[in-house]
Amino acid sequence: MIDIRLIRENPELVKENIKKKFQDHKLELVDKVAALDEEYRAAKKKGDDLRAFRNTKSKEIGMLMGQGKREEAEEAKKEVGRIGAELEALTNREKELEDEIRGIMLKIPNIIDDSVPIGEDDTHNVEIERFGEPRERNYEVPHHADILDALDGLDKESAGRTSGEGFYYLKGDIARLHEAMLAYARDFMISKGFTYFIPPFMIRHDVVDGVMSFEEMDAMMYKIEGEDLFLIGTSEHSMIGRFKGQMLNEKDLPLALTAYSPCFRKEGGSHGLEERGLYRVHQFEKQEMVVLCKPEESMDWYNKMWSYTVEYFRSLDIPVRTLECCSGDLADLKVKSCDVEAWSPRQEKFFEVGSCSTLGDAQARRLQIRYKGEKKNEFVHTLNNTVVATPRGLIAFIENNYNEDGSVDIPAVLRPYMGGIEKIVPKK
């Protein structure tokens, strides 16, 4: 959510930003909220004036009663009563306007960074840099579902009976590998100075409103029937919500946190290639990083955070690239975002395995997260980034470490988490 002063002082900037995000249907919201804000401020001023006048009249009543002027005092009491009724109506209208303004402000996108490329959708995202070269092979890498089947590590058929499409069982060495990647990601982030968390996996509606847009919530979140609780789509949601309504000390910033969680999303399996495997599923597990910092530090943290994901995947012998997200591909709360994509030998192209974003003070403004500075209280900036989300990360690992004989190499960094084994061999 942007500062309403931007709409008061520079509405054209807000409108231009909406156009850059190809959301022209939201242009009318700027004028609408400006008119409501003007009405709100007028009502508030009138209310303040009436309160001051009532206070004066109330003192006057006491003076008149002391002077024995009962008749005049009674008239003044009647006037105070009329003012009270008018004030009550004004106060109710102020609350209505506040709620209406906030509802609209939640729909107006955040101001994107000047460096963000302009484009309507993800086809206009821009490659920044590649890290590592794909391994040379003179053999074909099978579909990851076939590799996992040969390793006796995947059972989607049973999951279909218990839970439906978009669910899966991992088993044996593959299940162990899945957890090894997460455990290694945890320790990797701790070594970078991040504090490890396991957060709540369900959050209330007011936290959901604070961390994401309505469009994202409708597309992603599972609601718990009969309760004010949602299953999280990423641990960022509950980690940022942890600071809702808090005043932080400047000396405690930045807060660098890393969290493990299962994640639940409404996205179903896609057609063709993705239908068989684990590209799009309803549940997965993720190691996330979250930072709360002062505004002037946020871009430095943004660059450090995506570089940690690159470093993690390169330590697993997985080539990756970074991709700058264009304006139309940014969620409404984001100021700037880039994806980390892993190389798929099977498809001979890159696919997303992580996303790093800075959201400016948008989440902090929605959730009222401030820090006490030397001169004034300010909103913190919030950032989030995927260390690894698996099974997406597992797919990248399996394909890039696959050998012609069907075995999968285990890089040195993962062996302590795998009981020292150096490769997983086919069972079928």
Is-same-fold flag (4-105; 122-424)?
no
Could you tell me the CA-to-CA distances from 155 to 143, 275, 408 in Å, in that order? Answer: 15, 14, 19
Domain boundaries, the chain: 4-105, 122-424
Query: According to the model, what pLDDT value does residue 287 have?
Result: 98
Please choose, from the candidates 378, 391, 426, the residue with its C-alpha nearest in 3D space to the C-alpha of residue 406.
426
| Fold topology of 122-424 | BirA Bifunctional Protein; domain 2 (3.30.930)
Listed ranges 56-65, 258-267, 287-296; the one with the highest mean pLDDT: 287-296
Query: According to the model, what pLDDT value does residue 319 have?
Result: 98
Mean pLDDT of 404-428: 95
Q: Indicate the range of 45-49, 203-207, 421-425 predicted with least confidence.
A: 45-49
Name, in order, each residue with C-beta under 8 angstroms of 399's C-beta and a sequence gap of 6 or more: 141, 144, 147, 344, 345, 346
Greatest pairwise CA separation for the chain in angstroms: 108
Find residue 257's DSSP bridge partners.
195, 290
Angle at 197 between CA 212 and CA 221, to 5 degrees: 30
Residue type, 360: G
- The DSSP 8-state label assigned to residue 133 in this structure reads -
Query: According to the model, what pLDDT value does residue 271 have?
Result: 41
**What 3-state DSSP class applies to 88?**
helix
Residue 226's CB: how many other CB atoms inside 10 A? 6
Q: DSSP per residue over 145-205, as a string?
A: HHHHHHTT-EEHHHHHHHT-TT--EE-HHHHHHHHHHHHHHHHHHHHTTPEEE---SEE-H
Mean pLDDT of 119-125: 95
Q: How far apart are CA 158 and CA 66, in angstroms?
A: 87
Please choose, from the candidates 338, 384, 365, 369, the residue with its C-alpha nearest in 3D space to the C-alpha of residue 110.
365
Quote the pTM value: 0.89
Superfamily for the 4-105 domain: Serine-tRNA synthetase, tRNA binding domain (1.10.287.40)
Residue 270 has pLDDT above 70, yes or no: no
Mean pLDDT of 205-212: 92
Per-residue pLDDT reduced to its tens digit, 73-88: 767 777 777 777 788 8
Please choose, from the candidates 153, 157, 35, the residue with its C-alpha nearest in 3D space to the C-alpha of residue 97.
35
Percentage of the chain lying above the pLDDT 70 cut? 96
Please choose, from the candidates 256, 274, 212, 234, the residue with its C-alpha nearest in 3D space to the C-alpha of residue 354.
234
Q: How far apart are CA 209 and CA 363, in angstroms?
A: 9
φ/ψ of 4, rounded to 5, equals -65, -20
Element (H, E) at 23: none
Please choose, from the candidates 345, 232, 262, 248, the residue with its C-alpha nearest in 3D space to the C-alpha of residue 291.
248
Q: Judging by beta carbons within 10 Å of its beta carbon (0-12, 13-18, 19+), is residue 247 exposed, middle or buried?
A: exposed
Residue 215's CB: how many other CB atoms inside 10 A? 11
Per-residue pLDDT reduced to its tens digit, 165-208: 889 999 999 999 999 999 999 999 999 999 999 999 999 999 99
Do residues 124 and 329 touch, judged by C-beta distance below 8 A?
yes
Query: According to the model, what pLDDT value does residue 157 have?
Result: 92
pLDDT band at 217 (very low <50, low <70, confident <90, very high): confident
Query: According to the model, what pLDDT value does residue 324 have?
Result: 97
Torsion sign across C-alpha atoms 139, 144, 148, 150: negative
Query: According to the model, what pLDDT value does residue 275 have?
Result: 62
Do residues 156 and 275 touch, judged by C-beta distance below 8 A?
no
Mean pLDDT of 275-297: 92
Residue 356's CB: how many other CB atoms inside 10 A? 26
pLDDT band at 276 (very low <50, low <70, confident <90, very high): confident
Query: According to the model, what pLDDT value does residue 146 have?
Result: 95
- The DSSP 8-state label assigned to residue 234 in this structure reads S
Is the peptide bond prior to 11 cis by the omega test (within 30 degrees of 0)?
no
Residue 249 has pLDDT above 80, yes or no: yes
Mean pLDDT of 411-424: 97
Mean pLDDT of 7-27: 96
Do residues 425 and 403 touch, judged by C-beta distance below 8 A?
no
Query: According to the model, what pLDDT value does residue 272 have?
Result: 40
Q: Indicate the range of 330-334, 342-346, 424-428 predicted with least confidence.
A: 424-428
Residue 274 has pLDDT above 60, yes or no: no
Residue 323's CB: how many other CB atoms inside 10 A? 21
Query: According to the model, what pLDDT value does residue 16 have?
Result: 97
Listed ranges 62-76, 89-103, 153-167, 185-199; the one with the highest mean pLDDT: 185-199
Please name the residue that has the structure tokens 């100021």. 335
Q: Which two tokens stand for residue 253?
A: 């910033």
Please name the residue that has the structure tokens 């139309």. 328
Residue 50's CB: how many other CB atoms inside 10 A? 16
Average pLDDT taken over every residue of the chain: 92
